[in-house]
Structure 1
């Protein structure tokens, strides 16, 4: 109970690490409470307790079928069971995986040659028909016998996929699409014959892929157990070493609370925790034999403004709100400085990022002037909605709006997306985030800020932005795409459809006996090269 109280307080500005209000004594007390936290971790008899690696995840997978989800948490698990045509190395470069290579036969047609000798976990050989089957399930919403795929939005330009023999796949796009090899790294391949025989539900109960680990068991809501696949082809030469997975059993254990995850880490019941909140890093560092690893941000945090509200239709008000919030101080006080201030929602490591576009400065006087010019209705209470993940950011916004004399109230909702958008939505500001593991701006700008965007909660419309985004998706020239993206950033900055926030660094806690673990810029956790050393406890 005390631990849960501490967690609850942590989300409501009870302490601020950046202001040194969180004392060493408090940390020591919290660490002591962590040591008392109990969590059932008994492994089944089939799991080799001396050669198993446990990874904590906050929620269960949405599906064991890689065509039937849009969850990074789910993909983290499935990436170890299934391989894709392409992959990304530690520097985010696209390399072959199940494909041995590819070429453009025209601006709108690609040929992918498959690697020979790759087997599914049931012994069947991988062929072009498996790739065609998988991709057709993604792009065809009426694919016979299976639910419609939520991943179609990732492959909108793809209009046709067919096999040319057993080891060549031809993919045709509606227009030139330079990102096809990159996007294919996000789609794992399933076996056509087995899936048709097992059916959708049967496949979910016992998935079969070509990856380094095969499915060994699952207790829904508790854990997923994988076992190394001895006949694994070893992975591509571009991602050495080429080998079967050295760790025999990989266990993904569902542990919603970070406090319980840290407790397991301390006791040796868990080896890897990812996406640790920055304010808990000092607690993790109190555990001996635990290292903190990090990667640059692949997620943008922001607060969308409901542009259906009459007063938010005025750009002066939207710019004023950006000047009103001291995001730099929020990052320092609430996130230990572990984040980078963003001028829009473009991350610094994305294609076409413009380092010359400075973020809005914290300038309450300018904010007040703009609000007066726009006849802002000061008597109105602004409702700030958020989910638990972005509560600290929402609290910071609330604090600064209050300082400016703007009445507001924060409400925490369960989902990462609002239930309603537009004029009937109850919220004025929605603090949230969007992951972009491809690090290509198309994958955040298109859904969040174009008129056709499926996640454009603010209702922002810019004909110029829509036109440019249409062009950029059809442009093969890297220099021209960069030019387009720089203009897009200026349009977003000037339009200010959101309070622009920050890009949080992503942190992993790893026990010292885990070797060769390298967090990927894609946000995936691929474990086939990881080694687990024996330790005395």
Structure 2
């Protein structure tokens, strides 16, 4: 692995020149590149001669470098700092749907959330559209289950939507007409989401609070079914349900901390792995989403936009939902 890291091999439009660890990776145009698929023009060598990927961990430093013309594209811009880029006539913001789904897991094994009606109530009690608007400047989209709208096999279901009266009705049916007590766990990076959700639950009479954890401490607690509710997320760069749906909701799978288990869903997952019929495979995932939509092992959340800043001189480039920086067609104008 160490050898391959320092002796890169590939067949793309650029070739490796140098890696300055922690600082930058330098590549140059590979003039003998075959040109790429004729179905995806332009075909031929890359447009730019030299490509440099700089490592700039701090967002404020990335923005400063972009403003100074030291870099032409920056990644992972936060919504609250977009204005610094939008206010510069030489820069612009570009976005695309991200590959990470955000949601709240619930303990489906013991306690209040073992009752499907309580889990459904949580989905009605938390306004995901408002969270996207308040925390992400509207740069996101509520989702009806765990998959991004860009994912393969996405089921076109309506998100639960905010309906506090329906939430109260379901809680009453489950025997919690006087409310219940809930602690929402989160890592520090997700605590603002937990706090927003807790406030919404308090508005329907639930005694909701939050607790911040280190993941190394929280994970064994979740695996032992000792917690109630927690904010979580899962990235899925492939956009295939196998990369998120199965590990998060399959029985005993590596990312299933809710303890949720459904025999029919497991059979659909098993069939999706062996069928050679692509339509049948998609049907497995669509039917599976209908199951979890009803049973709500999670409070279904949202996907956010990935936000990039770039110079207006950059042409021939748009961000990709899979997070890859495809630079074959890029050139600088002026």
Q: Structure 2-normalised TM-score? A: 0.88
1:383 touches 1:426 (CA, 8 Å); kept in 2? no
Pairs within 5 Å for 1:286-325: 286-325=87-126
- Counterpart of 1:235 in structure 2 is 36
Q: 1:291: how far off?
A: 2.0
Q: In structure 2, what is the equivalent of residue 110 of structure 1? A: none
Deviates more, 1:420-429 or 1:493-502: 420-429
* In 1: Cα distance, 2:18 partner to 2:276 partner: 44
Structure-1 residue corresponding to 2:170: 370
Note the C-alpha offset of 1:492.
0.7
What's the CA shift string for 1:455-487, capped at 9, x where partnerless? 112221111101011112333334433433332
Displacement of 1:378 in angstroms is 5.7
In 1, the alpha carbon distance for the partners of 2:3 and 2:238 equals: 31
Aligned twin of 2:303 = 503
Alignment pair present for 1:280 and 2:81 = yes
Counterpart Cα distance in 2 of 1:226 and 1:425: 48
Query: Which whole-Å CA distance do the structure 1 matches of 2:281 and 2:224 have between them?
Result: 37
The number of equivalent residue pairs is 332
CA distance in 2, matches of 1:288, 1:431: 38
Distance 1:437 1:201, change over 3 A: closer
Cα distance in 2 for partners of 1:270, 1:406 equals 49
Match of 1:263 in 2: 64
Provide Cα deviations, 1:370-409, integer angstroms capped at 9, x if missing partner: 3344345967451421352x44433321221232332311
1:516 and 2:311 correspond: no
Q: Deviations over 1:474-527 (max 9, x none)?
A: 333344334333321111111211111112222221111111112224321111
- Structure with the larger RCO, 1 or 2 (CA within 8 Å, 6+ apart): 2
Matched, 1:403 2:189: no
Preserved contact between residue 232 and residue 244 of structure 1 (Cα < 8 Å): yes
CA RMSD of aligned residues (A): 2.6
1:323–1:363 contact (8 Å) kept in structure 2: yes
Q: 1:260 to 1:369 in 2, by over 3 A?
A: same
Radius of gyration: which is bigger? 1
Q: CA shift at 1:449, angstroms?
A: 0.8
Give the equivalent residue in structure 1 for 2:145: 344
**1:517·1:527 contact (CA, 8 Å) conserved in 2?**
yes
Where does structure 1 lack aligned partners over 5 or more consecutive residues? 1-199
Contact 1:391 1:412 in 2 (8 A): no
Residues 143, 303 of structure 2: 8 Å contact kept: yes
- SS of alignment partner, residue 420 of structure 1: helix
Which residue does the alignment assign to 1:19? none
Instruction: State how far apart, in whole Å, the 2-side matches of 1:385 and 1:426 are.
Output: 14
Counterparts in 2 of 1:251 and 1:421: CA distance versus 1, 3 Å: farther
SS of 1:256's partner is coil
Normalising by structure 1, we get a TM-score of: 0.57
> Mind listing any 5+ residue stretches in structure 2 that lack a counterpart?
none
- Which secondary structure state, in structure 1, belongs to the residue aligned with residue 53 of structure 2? strand
Alpha-carbon offset, residue 212 of structure 1 = 2.2
Counterparts of 1:452 and 1:423, CA distance in 2: 10
Q: Counterparts of 1:500 and 1:342 in 2: how far apart (Å)?
A: 6
Q: Give the one of 457, 467, 470 matched to 2:270.
A: 470
Structure 2 Cα separation of the partners of residues 394 and 269 of structure 1: 37
